[in-house]
């Protein structure tokens, strides 16, 4: 991709989307000379001086229907973003009339499908259960980490640390999340979930996202929690997860972890040349 010039006088079109309140700025770079940097991501993430998002997603040409890249709000790169993948899959389906897509990300090759009723499903691939894949700092049992509360570690293209608790509302997530995001067992930092069992194959989850903070929902976190709950014998492999922003259905099948839920394309806008020059 070509580097964006300081004297760029062209506005840049973007889309604002969300999956259950987990919100994204989406740039469609297919056929355009857009250079996305950490600096641009941070500027766009500013909810007062930019647009605001949990993650920035970039659509690029790929070997199949599209290739996606993701930045967190702090400018760090994320290998996976399940809700953004579902949002973009729905957008491409609406554009093309397709009901099944093949999308590549740093996580690998993902399949997205129209689930009917306005819902979109994405297969987020097989979970990473070995300590070195997640990654953790040293070899250990990923089912129960040597951290107070005995959380479970799972990789979904990004690292996750899931705590199973009696009451998710009783925990100060704003303090609990960052304390564990930067735990030394996670050299690449981690997403942090607190999870409560509310019924048979029914979980309540709140999430602190690595590089973003508290979010209303997280697709990859939901997949990781479903895998962790099944491994711990708390649920089967099909679960419903209640998040602050809504509900996701997760199904850990032989071919990967499928996630199904609603998406929204809120608006399309333009970044002005003055804004772009200011961060060049």
Residues 167 and 243 in one domain: yes
Specify the pLDDT at position 33.
Answer: 74
Specify the pLDDT at position 169.
Answer: 96
Interstrand relation of 55-60 and 12-19 (parallel, antiparallel or unpaired): unpaired
Residues 25 and 97 in one domain: yes
Give the burial class of 153: count Cβ atoms within 10 A of its Cβ; 0-12 exposed, 13-18 middle, 19 or more buried: buried
Distance CA 127, CA 232 (A): 15
Give the burial class of 193: count Cβ atoms within 10 A of its Cβ; 0-12 exposed, 13-18 middle, 19 or more buried: buried
pLDDT below 50 — which residues of the chain?
Answer: 1-7
* Contact between residue 222 and residue 239 where contact means Cβ atoms under 8 Å apart: no
Residues 26 and 52 in one domain: yes
Which 3-state string (H, E, C) describes 127-160?
CECCCCCCCCCCCCCCCCCCCCCCCEEEECCCEE
Instruction: Answer yes or no: is 104 within a domain.
Output: yes
Q: What is the largest CA-CA distance in the chain?
A: 58
Instruction: Answer yes or no: is 113 within a domain.
Output: yes
Structurally, the chain folds into a number of domains equal to 2
Instruction: Answer yes or no: is 31 within a domain.
Output: yes
Q: How many Cα atoms occupy the beta-carbon half-sphere of 160 within 13 Å?
A: 33
Distance CA 66, CA 88 (A): 9
Residue among 42, 61, 47 nearest 16 (CA): 47
- Domain of 85, CATH number, reads 3.10.310.10
| DSSP label at residue 169 | G
Interstrand relation of 238-243 and 202-209 (parallel, antiparallel or unpaired): parallel
Residues 169 and 107 in one domain: no
The pTM of the full predicted model, rounded to 2 decimals, is 0.93
Residues 101 and 157 in one domain: no
Strands (E), the chain: 12-19, 22-28, 55-60, 66-72, 77-78, 100-105, 108-116, 119-123, 152-155, 159-164, 191-199, 202-209, 213-215, 238-243, 246-253, 256-261, 264-271
Tokens of 105: 């990300």
Residues 110 and 158 in one domain: no
Residues 90 and 177 in one domain: no
Instruction: Answer yes or no: is 77 within a domain.
Output: yes
Distance CA 133, CA 29 (A): 30
Residues 237 and 272 in one domain: no
219-231 and 82-96 helices, crossing angle to 10°? 120
Residue among 80, 121, 127, 95 nearest 30 (CA): 95
Residues 59 and 159 in one domain: no
Residues 92 and 176 in one domain: no
Q: Could you read off the pLDDT of 54-77 as tens digits, one per residue?
A: 999 999 999 999 999 999 999 999
Instruction: Answer yes or no: is 198 within a domain.
Output: yes
Residues 25 and 95 in one domain: yes
């Amino acid at each position: 991709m070509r580097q964006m010039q300081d004297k760029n006088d062209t506005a840049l079109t973007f889309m604002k989307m969300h999956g259950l309140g987990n919100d994204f700025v989406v740039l469609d770079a297919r056929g355009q000379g857009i250079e996305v940097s950490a600096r641009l991501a941070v500027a766009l993430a500013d909810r007062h001086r930019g647009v605001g998002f949990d993650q920035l997603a970039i659509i690029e040409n790929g070997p199949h229907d599209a290739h996606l890249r993701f930045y967190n709000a702090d400018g760090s790169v994320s290998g996976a973003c399940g809700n953004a993948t579902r949002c973009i899959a729905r957008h491409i389906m609406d554009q093309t009339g397709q009901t099944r897509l093949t999308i590549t990300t740093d996580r690998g090759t993902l399949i997205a499908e129209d689930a009917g009723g306005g819902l979109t499903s994405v297969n987020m691939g097989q979970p990473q259960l070995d300590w070195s894949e997640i990654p953790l700092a040293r070899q250990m049992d990923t089912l129960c980490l040597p951290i107070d509360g005995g959380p479970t570690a799972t990789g979904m293209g990004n690292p996750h640390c899931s705590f199973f608790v009696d009451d998710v509302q009783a925990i100060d997530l704003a303090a609990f999340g960052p304390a564990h995001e930067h735990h030394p067992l996670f050299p690449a930092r981690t997403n942090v979930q607190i999870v409560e069992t509310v019924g048979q194959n029914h979980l309540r989850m709140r999430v602190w996202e690595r590089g973003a903070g508290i979010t209303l929902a997280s697709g990859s976190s939901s997949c990781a929690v479903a895998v962790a709950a099944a491994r711990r014998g708390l649920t089967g492999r099909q679960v419903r997860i209640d998040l602050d922003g809504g509900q996701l259905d997760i199904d850990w099948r032989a071919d990967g972890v499928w996630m199904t839920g609603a998406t929204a394309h809120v608006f399309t806008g333009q970044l002005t040349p003055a804004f772009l020059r200011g961060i060049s």
